[in-house]
Amino acid sequence: MYNTKRITDDLHWVGANDRRLMLFEGVYDVPLGVSYNSYIILDDKTVLFDTVDKAVAHQFFENIEHILNSRNLDYLVITHMEPDHCAEIGNLIKKYPNIKIVCNTKTQTMLEQFFDFKIGEDKFFIVKEGDHLETGKHKLTFYMAPMVHWPEVMVAYDETDKTLFSADAFGSFGAIDGNIFADEVDFNHRYMNEARRYYTNIVGKYGQQVQMLLKKVQALDVEMICPLHGYVWRKDLNTFIDKYQKWSTYEPEIKSVLIPYTSVYGNTQNAAEILAGELAKLGVKNIKMYDASVTHPSYIVSDVFKYSHIVFATTTYNMGIFVNMEILLNDLTAHNMQNRKVAIIENGSWAIMAGNQISEIVSKWKNTEIIGNKVTLKSSTKKTQREELEALAKEIVMTM
Ligand code: FEO
């Protein structure tokens, strides 16, 4: 049975939720689920913005049928070709054979990579930067947004209703629980962490490209944002745009200390806890610790984007960095992490190597400074190392 949501009189959400998905993109758990958003404009011509993941296809087609109410579907706008939005293009074309596909040339090429069927040239409405599509009352303009988050990404701006169809930008993990607008839910408390985890892990690497998109968005008069995942924004747009501004320039949101650690037998954890306690004594608020062997890197990557100071505490293992810490560090490098202050605690019972290897990785991050003296434990924290940890806490605070 259909489950659609009215956004305006002639704009409707026809997407669907998945709360059973084990791993989004085969990597990220989604404890709040995920929505695959799709929108229809009902004008002289009808326009669908993207399809959905194959897992929710049934609901999607029921929704379209209901909203179209026997009308034809004239246009499909493809904002990018990732299968969580494009899996149903083939079935959509079968069902609505007269549909025209609105996309750019890169998307046209990628369509052929994903699907076996051939689409005639006359079925395409190919657009480039600034091109328009008039559908009656509505006038859509297309803007390219390469690498936000695939190379062929484009967004569409509806001049009539001042609505931006933003593709993956301004999206969030988390299913749509009934309400459709971000201002109808406690977004800051319930969804902001998941929005940050979505942004940082999915497009965090491409800050520069996100900046280019933000400049385009700021030049438009946008009153509503319809992303491909999560809630629709129609109020306090600047709150979310400001977050994007920070995340895409790698500017920390808070001055505080994040301590991801790994610990084989608890001794490295003990040192990390002592440091955290000393920081607290010095008045640092919102200190956060993660056991990087227990928590998926996507949560820690997300908080590294949030925090100004990061302390990596880990053990030497196989003559290198303990495996889960190494995975985290490589993930941060892959996400173009920069602009942070970093301190290091290392441990080892013999041939201690981890600290220097972390320095080597972190020294390649842009605008990143290693602060304080590295604290080295030989198996466990003794009085001398406790004093070093106390000194490190003071040095960290001096840089805040
Ligand atoms: Fe939600 Fe880039 O796909």
Q: Would you state the pLDDT for residue 141? A: 98
Q: Would you state the pLDDT for residue 264? A: 96
Nearest Cα to Cα of residue 358 among 330, 334, 381, 385 = 330
Convert the pLDDT of each residue in 134-178 to its tens digit: 999 999 999 999 999 899 999 999 999 999 999 999 999 999 999
Q: Which residue has the tokens 């998945």?
A: 18
pLDDT at 53 exceeding the cut of 90: yes
Convert the pLDDT of each residue in 259-302 to its tens digit: 999 999 999 999 999 999 999 999 999 999 999 999 999 999 99
**Distance from the CA of 115 to the center of ligand 1, in angstroms?**
18
For 254-395, give the CATH class. Answer: alpha beta
**Distance from the CA of 194 to the center of ligand 1, in angstroms?**
15
pLDDT at 131 exceeding the cut of 90: yes
**Mean pLDDT in residue range 48-64:** 98
**Distance from the CA of 176 to the center of ligand 1, in angstroms?**
16
> Atom of ligand 1 at shortest distance to CA of 80?
2
Q: Would you state the pLDDT for residue 118? A: 84
Q: Would you state the pLDDT for residue 356? A: 97
Query: Measuring from each residue's beta carbon to the nearest atom of ligand 1, which residues come in under 6 Å?
Result: 80, 82, 84-85, 149-150, 168, 228-229
**Distance from the CA of 86 to the center of ligand 1, in angstroms?**
9
Return the CATH fold of 5-248: Metallo-beta-lactamase; Chain A (3.60.15)
Is the Cα torsion angle 164, 166, 167, 172 positive or negative in sign?
negative
Q: Which residue has the tokens 């709360």?
A: 19
**Distance from the CA of 168 to the center of ligand 1, in angstroms?**
5
How many Å separate Cα 220 from the centre of its chain? 23
Where in the sequence of the chain do the CATH 3.60.15.10 domains occur? Answer: 5-248
Convert the pLDDT of each residue in 12-24 to its tens digit: 999 999 999 999 9
Q: From the CA atom positions of the chain, what is the Rg in Å?
A: 24
Largest CA distance in the chain: 78
> Atom of ligand 1 at shortest distance to CA of 229?
1
**Distance from the CA of 153 to the center of ligand 1, in angstroms?**
10
> Atom of ligand 1 at shortest distance to CA of 202?
2
Per the omega criterion (within 30 degrees of 0), is the bond before 189 cis?
Answer: no
- The C-alpha atoms of residue 325 and residue 367 are separated, in whole angstroms, by 21
Q: Would you state the pLDDT for residue 30? A: 98
pLDDT at 117 exceeding the cut of 90: no
Which residue's CA is the nearest one to ligand 1's atom 3?
82
pLDDT at 306 exceeding the cut of 90: yes
**Distance from the CA of 80 to the center of ligand 1, in angstroms?**
8
How much of the chain, in percent, has pLDDT values that exceed 70? 100
Confidence of residue 353 (pLDDT cuts 50, 70, 90): very high
- The C-alpha atoms of residue 309 and residue 256 are separated, in whole angstroms, by 6
Where in the sequence of the chain do the CATH 3.40.50.360 domains occur? Answer: 254-395
> Atom of ligand 1 at shortest distance to CA of 228?
1
**Mean pLDDT in residue range 354-361:** 98
On average, the pLDDT of the chain sits at: 97
**Distance from the CA of 280 to the center of ligand 1, in angstroms?**
40
Contact 206/149 with Cβ under 8 angstroms? yes
Q: Would you state the pLDDT for residue 150? A: 95
Contact 377/344 with Cβ under 8 angstroms? no
Q: Residue 320 phi/psi, 5° resolution?
A: -145, -155
Contact 374/271 with Cβ under 8 angstroms? no
Question: Burial, 151: exposed, middle or buried (Cβ in 10 Å; 0-12, 13-18, 19+)?
Answer: middle
Contact 314/259 with Cβ under 8 angstroms? no
Is the Cα torsion angle 83, 102, 12, 170 positive or negative in sign?
positive
**Distance from the CA of 70 to the center of ligand 1, in angstroms?**
30
**Mean pLDDT in residue range 192-221:** 97
> Atom of ligand 1 at shortest distance to CA of 149?
2
**Mean pLDDT in residue range 54-63:** 98
Q: Would you state the pLDDT for residue 342? A: 98
**Mean pLDDT in residue range 338-357:** 97
**Distance from the CA of 149 to the center of ligand 1, in angstroms?**
7
- Return the C-alpha torsion angle 21, 25, 27, 28, nearest 10: -60
